[in-house]
Amino acid sequence: MSDKPSVLFVCVHNAGRSQMAAAWLRHLAGDTVEVRSAGSAPADQVNPAAVEAMREVGIDITDQTPKLLEYETADSSDVIVTMGCGDACPVFPGKRYEDWKLEDPAGKGVEAVRPIRDEIRTRVEKLLTELRPTA
């Protein structure tokens, strides 16, 4: 892993869980970690309930758009965190993988998304301490 590790968050639509995880990591790590997110079948827009849930904690993700998972992005990432993308996520030898079992926020209101957002924050904080053990 380089001095600036790269983390890729992947879910099917890249509209909820992976967008919230990427936003938390950008918020908590600043420019010390390269943050990426993508989906195996990206949606047209970020889930409005995820946008609202993140806005409630002072993080604006309205400028984000779902992106297609590309081989090069995954291959050049140090850590790949999957969130329910199943067999659509490619496996690259030598990469660190984590599979976060999280409820899918698709079709849910902000009340149901808040606990998912908070669980993602907890997991991102743990990941960040592992990436920067001396921080």
Enumerate the active-site residues.
11, 85, 89
DSSP string, 53-99: HHHHTT---TT----B--HHHHHT-SEEEESS-GGGS---TT-EEEE
Measured CA to CA, the distance from residue 38 to residue 74 in angstroms comes to: 9
Sheet holding 6-11, edge to edge: 34-39, 6-11, 79-82, 96-99
> Which of left, alpha, beta for 121 (phi over 0: left; psi -120 to 50: alpha)?
alpha
